[in-house]
């Protein structure tokens, strides 16, 4: 903050005031630092830089830093251990990767990941569980019988061009929208009344209204019961 030390407080922007507040907290010697959305007023580029700087400072100080944020990407990037709260109650505590891979409930599953996990109502069909009007099928023995919802991370959905005689490599869905984001692309698809979002590497040649085949590995599917808890 050396470049703003000559300014009176009233001339500081919201982001500059946040950085001054962080600096004033860091020069003390507390048992733990409590930070409530400490970088929410910074622009996106500066927020990324400050996240990295806060992690470095925390390692140097060797002190606990309790950090509250509504930004799931920020939480996952700075945390060693993370607590997810719902209506004032802690629903799950663990390392970010552990909570991401094994969420304790549908609520926790939705909190982490961008795009967020696809949560679909499931029904018991012939030979297994079905979702999205039969587009997603998991055979008996691979899914809990009491599952009423299934969850699929967008990066775990495989998308291929559809051919009329295709059955082995996926089931048909219609592309609703395509969002190219440089290194990856978000594809929103319609399967019956359900919408699913897939996260694909690069910039595949997929256009709105095209028919595609979607599939997933059963081991990547999450299952949720009547109370929303993971099975």
- Type and span of the H or E element at 177: strand 171-180
Q: What integer pLDDT is reported at residue 131 of this predicted model?
A: 85
CATH class name, domain 2-80: alpha beta
Q: What is the pLDDT of residue 223?
A: 93
Domains of the chain by residue range: 2-80, 118-224
Confidence at residue 146, expressed as pLDDT on a 0 to 100 scale:
87
Residues in the chain: 231
CB atoms within 10 A of CB 7: 13
Q: 57, 26 in Cβ contact below 8 A?
A: yes
| C-alpha distances in Å from residue 127, one per residue of 88, 168, 191, 219 | 41, 16, 20, 17
pLDDT at 167: 54
Task: Give the per-residue pLDDT at 126.
Answer: 73
What pLDDT is recorded for position 102? 96
How many whole angstroms separate alpha carbon 118 and alpha carbon 109? 9
Q: What does the mean pLDDT of the chain come to?
A: 90
The CA-atom distances, in angstroms, between 1 and each of 6, 24, 29 are 10, 11, 20
Q: Out of 2.30.31.20, 2.40.50.140, 2.70.150.10, 3.30.429.10, which CATH number does the structure's domain 118-224 have?
A: 2.40.50.140
CA dist 183 and 230 (Å) reads 32
Contacts (Cβ under 8 Å, ≥6 apart) of 181: none
Residue ranges, the chain, pLDDT below 70:
164-170
What's the CA gap between 227 and 105, in Å, rounded?
9
């Amino acid at each position: 903050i050396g470049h703003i030390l000559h300014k009176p407080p009233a001339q500081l922007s919201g982001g500059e005031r946040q950085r001054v507040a962080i600096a004033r907290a860091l020069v003390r010697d507390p048992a733990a630092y409590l930070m409530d959305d400490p970088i929410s007023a910074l622009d996106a580029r500066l927020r990324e830089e400050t996240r990295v700087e806060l992690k470095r400072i925390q390692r140097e100080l060797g002190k606990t830093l309790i950090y509250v944020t509504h930004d799931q990407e920020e939480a996952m990037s700075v945390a060693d251990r993370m607590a997810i709260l719902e209506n004032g109650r802690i629903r799950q505590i663990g390392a970010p990767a552990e909570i991401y891979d094994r969420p304790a409930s549908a609520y926790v599953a939705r909190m982490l990941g961008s795009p967020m996990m696809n949560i679909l109502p499931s029904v018991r069909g012939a030979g297994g569980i079905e979702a999205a009007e039969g587009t997603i099928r998991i055979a008996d023995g691979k899914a809990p019988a009491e599952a009423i919802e299934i969850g699929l991370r967008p990066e775990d959905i495989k998308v291929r061009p559809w051919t009329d005689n295709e059955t082995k490599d996926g089931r048909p869905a219609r592309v609703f929208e395509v969002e190219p984001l440089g290194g990856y692309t978000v594809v929103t698809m319609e399967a019956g009344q359900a919408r699913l979002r897939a996260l694909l590497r690069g910039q595949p040649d997929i256009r709105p209204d095209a028919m595609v085949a979607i599939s997933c590995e059963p081991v990547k599917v999450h299952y949720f019961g009547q109370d929303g808890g993971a099975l």
